Structure 1
Amino acid sequence: MPYTVERASSADSHEITLLLRASIIELCGLDHGDNPDRYKAWLKNKTAPNVESWIDGPGAAFVVQDQDKRILGFAMGTPKGHIPLMYVLPDARLTGVSKTLMRALEDTFRDRGLDESCLSSTLTAERFYKSLGYAETGETKTQLDMTFRCFKKGL
């Protein structure tokens, strides 16, 4: 599947919102147990206005698009090298979209002179991040009645 990586645009906020919501509901069952009460809380801030503000914020946000300009993935990085969001459409899972997004963020961090990237991972994504060289720090974060393990990677 040919695709391109681009800087996210606030004009894409509605499509990105739909992607985030589908990814959380359909791909993160290991984390929310397919319990609507748990994933509704996770979805609460996944709105087009919030996505637009994230894109327009001080960090870097990227999308991966297919040849028809359909957004297949979305990721964000902060100016200090933290990755708070990285999601793909369910039908784009395991196609290289996630790796492309991570490469774009890590390249941006290197260009900013950072020597480390960090993130908090869902259970669903832990194996993926480990495959990219991220290592557990031993720290955890609890949000929305879920525990997320923290990971770091030297750049």
Structure 2
Amino acid sequence: MPFTISSATFTDAEEIAVLLRRSIVELCQDDHGNDPEKYEPWLKNKTTENVERWIVGPGRVFSAVDERRKVVGVVMGTPDGEVVLNYVSPDARFSGVSKMLMNAIEEYFRDRGLTSAVLNSTCTAERFYRSVGYAETGRVELHRELMCRQFRKAL
């Protein structure tokens, strides 16, 4: 599946919000067990309006789009090196989209002079983050009723 990575724009916001919600419900079942009481709080801030705010806010949001200009993935990082979003469309899972998005956000961090990146991972994504060089720090946090482990990578 050919795709292009670029800075997200307002025209992508609605599609990104739909992708985030769909990815959480369909791909993160190990974390929420198909229990709406667990995934609804996770979905609450995944709105078009919030995505628009994230796009113009501090940090960077990258989207991956396919040849039809459909958004198939999104990543967001803060100016201080934290990856706060990394989601892929269920239709694009295992296509390399997440890896390319992580490369883009890590390049953004390096361009800012940062030497490491940090993120909190749900159970679903832990294996992926290990595969791209992240290591567990030992820190565990509860985010919206979900257990997340902190990972770090030297850039």
TM-score scaled by structure 1? 0.98
SS at match of 1:124: helix
Structure 1: segments with no counterpart, 5+ residues: none
TM-score scaled by structure 2? 0.98
1:118 corresponds to which letter in structure 2?
V
Please give the residue correspondences for 1:68-79 in structure 2 after superposition, counting only pairs within 5 Å: 68-79=68-79
Q: How many angstroms does 1:37 deviate by?
A: 1.2
Equivalent residue, structure 1, for 2:27: 27
Structure 2: segments with no counterpart, 5+ residues: none
Q: Deviations over 1:75-132 (max 9, x none)?
A: 0000000000000000100000000000000011111100000000010000000001
2:116 corresponds to which letter in structure 1?
E
Provide the C-alpha distance between the structure 1 equivalents of 2:44 and 2:61, rounded to a whole number of angstroms.
Answer: 20
Q: How many angstroms does 1:146 deviate by?
A: 1.2
Q: How many angstroms does 1:12 deviate by?
A: 1.2
Please give the residue correspondences for 1:27-106 in structure 2 after superposition, counting only pairs within 5 Å: 27-106=27-106
2:111 aligned with 1:111, yes or no?
A: yes
2:30 corresponds to which letter in structure 1?
L
Provide the C-alpha distance between the structure 2 equivalents of 1:152 and 1:37, rounded to a whole number of angstroms.
Answer: 30
Provide the C-alpha distance between the structure 2 equivalents of 1:141 and 1:56, rounded to a whole number of angstroms.
Answer: 28
Percent of aligned pairs with the same amino acid:
54
Runs of 4 or more above 6 Å deviation: none
Equivalences, count: 155
SS at match of 1:84: strand
2:118 corresponds to which letter in structure 1?
C
